[in-house]
Amino acid sequence: MNTKLSLNIGGLLAALSAWVIFADCCKSPCEAFLEKYSREDFSSFRNKYILNRGIDHSDHSSILFVYDERDDGPYMVKVNRASGKIVGTSTHLMKDASNPDSVFKQQLAMKFIRYHVDGLDVDSTGNVFVWITHDQPDLIRVAGKMDMPVFDEKHYREAKDNWYVNKE
């Protein structure tokens, strides 16, 4: 084989590999989420809302608030971001902490942390709301009718399947 030709092919392959890596890095957070989780089963989160409330820099943990349909305040779960383990929980913000279903909420928190989003809400009909960068949901997966108060077609465009992306 011609040496000059093999160098050109090698250079072309290197450039193509660099382009693929660059293109993958340039995906928006919404595109990256949809690519990974568009077919995810979120049914275990039904009637739950989980919010990444912030970071405790003293132990490098994310502070997650897990709300359920009882609307009695959040169950707090702290997850160490390096180890991926729960380092603390609290019911002090709950009005009725007598039966917080803590094991299930901790399992949901651990599942939620892998999504790398700020918030996740699944309503009683299975509609999924995902917050990544905005105050409004960045992504909405519609399970049934489009009669959700937060959903306004002026602010969302169809992305894929039943997913809609915030236009802002």
What is the b/e burial string over 8-26, where b = at least 16 CB atoms within 10 angstroms of the residue's CB? eeeeeeeeeeeeeeeeeee
Stretches where the chain sits below pLDDT 70 are 1-26, 70-71, 145-152
User: What confidence tens digit (pLDDT) does each residue in 17-60 have?
Assistant: 444 444 445 579 999 999 999 999 999 999 999 999 988 888 88
Say what the pLDDT of residue 150 is. 62
> Helix, strand, or coil here: 63?
strand
**What is the pTM assigned to this prediction?**
0.79
